[in-house]
Every structure is written in structure tokens, then in C-alpha cells.
């Protein structure tokens, strides 16, 4: 669904205005090369969302960090699970280990 929404926004001429919007837009488009090219920004945005107060954003950030294989994010993932983790986040982390 995110990919479809991204394509619709693109057709309307919408452009990300913030660093966070750009990262999530690129994730929705599965633009891995752009995300890797902007690794520092991607990592910062995802870690901020992981550690934020929005549980849904934290889960999406955990998925993205694991999918991208950002290894130095593992301590933050573990801390997030301990602090405010859900069963769903734990399953995501466990599956991502393999």
C-alpha cells in the first residue's frame, strides 16, 4: 500500500520537504540505493522514530532497520524492545536475525 500511495503522491507532484519525509518516502518506494547513499540520514531518522513515542512508527522503524541490515542499530533495537517493545516488535527482531 505504501508504494501505491508514494506513486500517487509522485503523480500529484508532491515532494518530501523534510529529511524524515524523504527517508519514509524512499522506504515506501523501496529505493534501497538512495537510502544507502544517504545512510547517515536514514539511520538518524529511523533511530529517532524507533526511540520516539509513536509505537506504530517505532515498529516501522524497527522493520526498516532490520531490512536494511544496519548492524550498529542492534543496541538501539534491543533497548527499544526492553523499554517499550511489543510482541510484534520482538517477532520482527527475532525473524530479522536469520
pLDDT digits (tens, 9 = 90+) for 55-86: 888 888 888 888 888 778 888 877 877 776 66
- Phi/psi of residue 13, nearest 5 degrees: 85, 10
Could you tell me the pTM of the whole model?
0.75
Q: What is the band of 22 on the pLDDT scale with cuts at 50, 70, 90?
A: very high
Residue 82 or residue 49, greater confidence:
49
Q: For residue 28, give every residue at least 6 positions away whose Cβ sits within 8 Å of its Cβ, in sequence order, or none.
A: 2, 3, 5, 6
pLDDT surpassing 70 at residue 34? yes
User: Nearest to residue 92, comparing CAs of 76, 84, 79, 81?
Assistant: 81
pLDDT surpassing 90 at residue 46? yes
Amino acid at each position: 500500500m505504501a508504494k501505491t500511495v508514494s506513486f500517487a503522491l509522485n503523480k500529484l507532484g508532491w515532494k518530501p520537504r523534510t529529511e524524515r519525509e524523504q527517508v519514509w518516502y524512499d522506504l515506501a518506494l523501496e529505493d534501497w540505493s538512495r537510502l544507502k547513499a544517504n545512510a547517515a540520514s536514514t539511520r538518524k531518522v529511523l533511530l529517532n522514530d524507533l526511540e520516539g513515542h509513536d509505537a506504530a512508527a517505532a515498529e516501522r522503524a524497527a522493520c526498516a532497520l532490520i531490512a536494511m541490515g544496519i548492524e550498529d542499530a542492534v543496541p538501539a533495537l534491543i533497548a527499544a524492545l526492553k523499554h517499550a517493545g511489543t510482541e510484534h516488535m520482538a517477532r520482527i527482531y527475532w525473524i530479522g536475525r536469520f
